[in-house]
Amino acid sequence: MNKPGNIAVAVVIAWAAAGAARAAERITVGLEVHVDGTSAVGGFEDQLRAGVRRALEALGDVEIVTPGAPSQRMLRILAASGSGIHSASVIVTERYDRETLMVLGIEDDDLAATMMALHIVNGHWIFTGTDVADVAKRIVAAVDSDVLAKSRARKRP
């Protein structure tokens, strides 16, 4: 094969490898579920956590980090249950990275370090329902169509 042909093949291979790397990028999410009071009795917290985890994993591009591990993005759920009605207050928080802060005009290193240690709320929802699995699916559908969709859009070239 001639030299221009080799270069063309190398370009195609590099382009395909870059596409595969982008496809393999996963959105990391920390998951915290907390249920207060008598709602914690009876497995409601475990059912809600498991339902949200299953729905997030079903998205295919989301990786749930080990509880307690640092994460760029956190999904926090405070829930309660009583008389057959389940409710959940959901917030998604993200940490700013240095690149984002530079775009925002934050050039001072001390201020940037402080801001990168904070989590900024990117979304808040409240859900109620009689079926825990349905509440979990609705939580993930809302987060997916809002915060995660925006994250995917930012990652595209």
| pTM of this structure | 0.76
Q: Could you tell me the two tokens for 86?
A: 């389940």
Other CB atoms within a 10 A radius of the CB of residue 122 amount to: 16
Q: Counting Cβ atoms within 10 Å, is residue 121 exposed (0-12), middle (13-18) or buried (19+)? A: exposed
pLDDT above 60 (res 1): no
**Residue 39 gets which letter from DSSP?**
G
Domain boundaries in the chain? 26-155
Q: Could you tell me the two tokens for 75?
A: 């999904």
Q: Mind listing the pLDDT tens digit for each residue in 53-67? A: 999 999 999 999 988
**Residues near 45 by Cβ (< 8 Å), separated by ≥ 6?**
33, 34, 35, 39, 79
Q: Mind listing the pLDDT tens digit for each residue in 89-136? A: 999 999 888 888 888 898 898 998 888 888 889 999 999 999 999 999
User: Which residue bears the tokens 């001072």?
Assistant: 108
Given the candidates 3.40.50.2300, 3.30.750.24, 3.30.160.100, 3.30.70.580, the CATH classification of the domain at 26-155 is: 3.30.160.100
- What length is written for the chain? 157
